[in-house]
Amino acid sequence: MHKKRCQKVDVLKNPGSTVFCTIWRVQQLPDDDSADLLAPVPADRTGDLVGYARVSTRGQLLDRQIRALTDVGCSRIFSDKKSGKNAEREELWKALDYLRPGDTLVVPSLDRLGRSIQDLIAIVSGLRKRGIGFASLHEALDTTTPGGRLVFHVFAALAEFIRELIVQGTNEGLDAARARGARLGRPPAMTPEQVRHARDLLTRPENTVTSIAKLLGVSRNTIYNYVPELKGGRQALAEATTTAELPRPAKPKE
């Protein structure tokens, strides 16, 4: 959305009395969200109100949410019966695709839309860029008004601040663990003792990879990962084991 501002560029004076003739020039500002965070979006509110409702389980009812959305004048309502943690909310994606510039998406409350504050901010920011408004009935939040937009940007700033604190704390914790000599990352699936035990069991033809994996409490793929010679067959494993166990020749005495 382009923003405009006016600039006074000329002043004329007449003898005897002062007459100001002001000429205004309209200038285009950069199309950047940071240029005016409180600019009205949508500028033209002639579009439709489109509602979105959601309950977490199929046993819950949508009646109360749909009634509230209908009362405020939503011409079309989409609804999901899925947990907010589920990213596959088909009706929400249909609602976002249905919206057009000038429309406003209305939800009963903020927790019906976003899985987290970051998810909520991402969705509403995407609507803003498309010229679509957003309103939440329970919180009385309406981004088509200056007050609503201000509150929403405060939410966004707090979310970013919290994210940076989490990242900073995580990095400091990792640095402290490295300084203590702690091993970072996932623990190994098999200990060196288990690998030696697996190799010993694999030398006996009656032992299958499946039975050894069950005995050690790991998967077949883990056995193959920690005993890579096994991929060439039992013969290749036996040859590798025999070669590894060959005694090294003694160094000649000088």
Tokens matching residue 223: 């056995």
Per-residue pLDDT, 44 = 59
196-241 tens-digit pLDDT: 888 888 888 788 888 888 888 888 888 888 888 777 666 666 666 5
Q: 49-157, what's its fold?
A: Rossmann fold (3.40.50)
1 or 240, higher pLDDT? 240
| Residue 34 confidence (pLDDT) above 60 | no
Residue 52, phi then psi, degrees to nearest 5 = -140, 125
Tokens matching residue 68: 């509230």
48-105 tens-digit pLDDT: 999 999 988 777 888 999 999 999 999 999 999 887 666 678 899 999 999 999 999 9
Cα separation, 123 vs 50, whole angstroms: 15
Cα separation, 168 vs 164, whole angstroms: 6
Residue 169, phi then psi, degrees to nearest 5 = -65, -40
**Sequence spans of domains, the chain:** 3-28, 49-157, 192-245
Query: At residue 183, what is the residue type?
Result: R
Per-residue pLDDT, 73 = 93
Tell me the CB-side half-sphere exposure of residue 51, using CA atoms within 13 A. 21
Per-residue pLDDT, 241 = 59
User: pTM, whole model, 2 decimals?
Assistant: 0.51
Tell me the CB-side half-sphere exposure of residue 93, using CA atoms within 13 A. 5
Cα separation, 135 vs 184, whole angstroms: 45
Per-residue pLDDT, 119 = 83
Where are the strands (E) in 137-232, listed by range?
141-142
111-140 tens-digit pLDDT: 888 777 778 888 888 898 898 999 999 888
Tell me the CB-side half-sphere exposure of residue 252, using CA atoms within 13 A. 1
Cα separation, 100 vs 131, whole angstroms: 8
Per-residue pLDDT, 107 = 94
| Residue 29 confidence (pLDDT) above 60 | no
Cα separation, 197 vs 217, whole angstroms: 13
Per-residue pLDDT, 252 = 47
Burial class (CB in 10 A: 0-12, 13-18, 19+), 141: buried
**Which among 144, 62, 143, 151 is positioned nearest to 108, based on CA atoms?**
62
49 or 180, higher pLDDT? 49
| 8 A C-beta contact, residue 114 and residue 120 | yes
Catalytic residues: 56
